[in-house]
């Protein structure tokens, strides 16, 4: 079971600041948070006593020419280890991280089926293998984070609906905890990646930002006033299901004209196959486009009909991003996704920027767009980052 720390709001504030922005002195923490120096010292004490924080050698004074040198507080990253696993429809990707979500070991395990019982059994094997890579992991790893696409009820560890896995109402946290003996947190994969960006990535220091993912689906994580937006029912930021294409095409969600139905991997491949076949003397050329990799090859070969497919995808994504920016005005938008999806980014980057700028209202168009490729190991790291949060929220 994950060690419990007696935390207060002040303690959580202090520890999170050191975790995400440290090393940082007590004086600086007090300045940034508005807490008194005494409150900062009191808040940090239990974390120091339990070995989560350490005082570094004094490097600066509290004021120029006066006062004693300040001793920065820093995380002891190997005090606790965490496992994060990204679950896809054909494999498990797992990582072991330290307290700062830095990956220390990783492993992939193929899935022959998405049957829940089989996936949980493979998950247990993956976790056991990761823990066995270093003796200290087993002794100081108590938490497992799982990242799953779809509608996830984090509070109850329930996967309500995952279209790519074909799951409905799966009590994944309970099943995984029974199989691994760890404290388990389950989160939507995009929200998990958003947490990693907020605490350890390009979102550090931003009070509001968005993360847009391009790949099998089109997802979005939102941070507003320093908090990940979950929504009243655990569903928020689903820009993949903003209708931008009129009545066509039909989406797997039951709606029509959704961004995901235009720019998701499967629709892109299908549209490229149709475009390349129509552009050829016969259907042979179109038949070879069966994967996102072959679709990308056709586009990079210069086929104008195929490139138009990617431009349409970029237009759809740009419109959805503009709608989201108009609604809550983020400081920045981080665009990421799985590797094949981001290899395609050069094919629709110009159209994304053009459509976003044209549709964004007023100063919303000044929002910075950052391209940050992320491997599936980094998505797994996002699951570990959510597990790290259990230090405060369980």
- What are 352-384's pLDDT values in tens digits? 889 999 999 988 888 888 888 788 899 999 999
In order of their start, the domains of the chain are 9-75 (1.10.10.10), 80-197+377-393 (3.30.420.40), 204-371 (3.30.420.40)
pLDDT digits (tens, 9 = 90+) for 287-337: 577 788 888 888 888 888 888 999 999 999 999 999 999 988 899 999 887
pLDDT digits (tens, 9 = 90+) for 46-69: 899 989 999 998 765 555 554 556
Question: Taking the mean position of all CA atoms in its chain, how far away is CA 182?
Answer: 22
Q: How far apart are CA 18 and CA 21, in angstroms?
A: 5
Q: How far apart are CA 316 and CA 36, in angstroms?
A: 49
Tell me the mean pLDDT in the region 82-87.
98
pLDDT digits (tens, 9 = 90+) for 184-223: 999 999 999 999 999 999 998 888 999 999 888 888 999 9
Q: How far apart are CA 310 and CA 195, in angstroms?
A: 29
Token digits for 92?
């498990």
Q: At residue 283, does pLDDT exceed 50?
A: no
Distances (CA, A) of 249 to 30, 135, 298: 54, 52, 22
Parallel, antiparallel or unpaired: strands 73-75 and 53-55: antiparallel
The more confidently predicted of residues 346 and 23 is: 23
């Amino acid at each position: 079971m994950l060690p419990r720390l007696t935390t207060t709001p002040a303690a959580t504030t202090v520890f999170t600041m050191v975790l995400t922005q440290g090393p940082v002195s007590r004086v600086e923490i007090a300045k940034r948070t508005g807490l008194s120096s005494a409150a900062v010292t009191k808040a940090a004490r239990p974390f120091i006593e339990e070995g989560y924080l350490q005082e570094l050698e004094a490097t600066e004074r509290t004021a120029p020419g006066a006062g004693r040198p300040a001793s920065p507080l820093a995380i002891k990253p190997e005090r606790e280890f965490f496992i994060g696993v990204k679950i896809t429809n054909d494999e498990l990707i797992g990582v072991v991280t330290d307290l700062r979500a830095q990956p220390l070991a990783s492993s992939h395990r193929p899935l022959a089926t998405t049957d829940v019982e089989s996936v949980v059994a493979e998950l247990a094997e993956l976790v056991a293998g990761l823990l066995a890579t270093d003796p200290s992991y087993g002794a100081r790893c108590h938490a497992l984070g799982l990242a799953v696409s779809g509608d996830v009820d984090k509070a109850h560890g329930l996967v309500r609906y995952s279209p790519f896995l074909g799951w409905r109402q799966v009590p994944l946290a309970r099943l995984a905890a029974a199989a691994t003996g760890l404290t388990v947190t389950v989160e939507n994969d995009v929200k998990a990646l958003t947490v990693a960006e907020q605490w350890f990535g390009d979102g550090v220091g931003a009070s509001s930002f968005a993360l847009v993912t391009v790949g099998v689906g089109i997802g979005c994580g939102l941070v507003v006033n320093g908090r990940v937006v979950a929504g009243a029912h655990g569903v928020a930021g689903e820009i993949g299901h903003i209708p931008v294409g009129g009545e066509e095409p039909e989406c797997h969600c039951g709606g029509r004209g959704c961004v995901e139905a235009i720019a998701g991997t499967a629709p892109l491949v299908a549209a490229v196959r149709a475009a390349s076949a129509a552009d050829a003397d016969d259907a042979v050329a179109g038949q070879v486009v069966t994967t996102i990799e072959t679709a990308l090859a056709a586009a990079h070969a210069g086929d104008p009909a195929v490139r138009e497919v990617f431009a349409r995808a970029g237009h759809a994504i740009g419109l959805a991003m503009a709608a989201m920016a108009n609604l809550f005005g983020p400081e920045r938008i981080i665009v990421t996704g799985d590797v094949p999806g981001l290899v395609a980014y050069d094919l629709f980057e110009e159209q994304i920027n053009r459509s976003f700028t044209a549709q964004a209202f007023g100063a919303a168009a000044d929002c910075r767009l950052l391209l940050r490729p992320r491997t599936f190991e980094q998505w797994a790291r996002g699951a570990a980052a959510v597990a790290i949060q259990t230090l405060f929220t369980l």
